[in-house]
Structure 1
Amino acid sequence: MKRRHFLQGSLASLALAGLPLYWFNRWDYLTIHHSAGASGDLALLRRVHRQRQAGDPVNEVPYHFLVGNGEGIETGAVVPSERWSLRLWGAHVSARNPDRNFRSIGICLIGNFQNAAPSADQYDATIALCRDLMRRFDIAAERVTLHGETPGEATLCPGKLFPRSEFFKDIGRT
């Protein structure tokens, strides 16, 4: 209940301050992740998030979008989270990066790319989602990062088998 009141109060304060236009168009970055688990869906990732980040006032996955691998979410299906529906900040990078959590759209591909690469359908859906968000919010390709390559982060995410070079080429980053 406390979380709901916090969110309602926060959104009401922003509306009164005249910030809705900024709030819904503040996105400057995309950050790509993998779930590091072979399967998953919104419910599973929500439970994991609650266990790992109990202090987050948002009872939702830390990402804005999930891209399925056929193990919990259909292969290549893009599922928006409540964070996206309400345009809330993410919780997908560390606390060392509050600005990146606030202004970056978190995209999580279901799977562990330390063990296997994403399927072609999952990869293609991710590219299409990135291109659409980049176009809609005028996000430059240089502002699209992999979680582990985001300044201030120390992780292998999205894994050694994520096709990094191909990904950046396909979104237009040289």
Structure 2
Amino acid sequence: MKREINVIDLKFNEELMKIDKPRKIVIHHTHNPNLTVESTHKLHIERFKWAGIGYNYFIEKSGDIFQGRGMYVGAHAKNHNRDSIGIALAGNFDEDLPTEEQIESLVDICLEFMINYDIEPIRVIGHREIEGVEKTCPGLLFDMDKFRELLIERLDKIK
């Protein structure tokens, strides 16, 4: 179950604060299917003037998981960053489905966080499920209910 998380040297423009106790996981898509962890980091600095990549973790189409901010407060879900882990998948899931490799990696990393931080499956949410969010993120084709069912199924196998 435990997947390797790739760590690359991303330079942040300010000191980041540790996440105290994550209470939920927020799933995102990049919308631009060509983004990588590095290009997202650069985009978030240049366009949004953030400290760096806003997501805590990033899953490329190959299923490779990269650390973004890691377990430091992200910039991915307004008013929810201090108590959530933001995971972005490269792709536009309004138009395409995530790759099987991405889903497998997402399940694995979510289960790891759910077990380590006692996060219930219902607290694994799509960005669009946050009150006030008008985006489709993580995309119209990404079925959050089915994803949560998959997490429950896998959790039952572990226990």
TM superposition score normalised by structure 2: 0.81
Structure-2 residue corresponding to 1:89: 73
Q: Secondary structure at the match of 2:152?
A: coil
The 5 Å alignment of 1:151-166 reads: 151-166=131-146
1:25 deviates by 4.4
The secondary structure found in structure 2 opposite 1:105 is strand
Q: In angstroms, what is the RMSD of aligned CA positions?
A: 2.0
Of 137, 145, 149, which aligns to 2:125?
145
Paired residue secondary structure (1:89):
coil
Corresponding position of 2:86: 106
**TM superposition shift of 1:163:** 3.1
Q: TM-score, normalised by structure 1?
A: 0.75
- Given that 2:76 and 2:86 are in contact with CA atoms closer than 8 Å, whether structure 1 keeps it comes out as yes
Deviations 1:47-106 (A, max 9, x none): 21123321x3x2x2100101110xxxxx1111112x11xx32110013xx2xx1111000
The amino acid across from 1:80 in the alignment is Q
Please say if 1:77 is aligned against 2:64.
Answer: yes
Secondary structure (helix, strand or coil) at the match of 2:86 reads strand
What is the CA–CA distance in structure 1 between the aligned matches of 2:145 and 2:87, rounded to whole Å? 18
Aligned partner of 1:63 in structure 2 is 55
Which residue of structure 1 aligns with residue 34 of structure 2? 39
- CA distance in structure 1 between the aligned counterparts of 2:72 and 2:148, rounded to whole angstroms: 26
Dislocated runs of 4+, deviation >3 Å:
none
For residues 9-58 of structure 1, the C-alpha deviation after alignment (integer angstroms, 9 at most, x for no partner) is x76xxxxxxxxxxx55411110000000122222200121123321x3x2
Unmatched 5+ stretches in structure 2:
1-11, 154-159
Amino acid of the structure 2 residue aligned with 1:31: V
Q: Aligned residues, how many?
A: 142
Unaligned runs of 5+ in 1: 12-22, 70-74
Native 8 Å contact 1:34 1:111 kept in 2: yes
Which protein has the bigger helix share?
Answer: 1
Higher-Rg structure is 1
- Give the conservation status (yes or no) of the 8 Å contact 2:30–2:90: yes
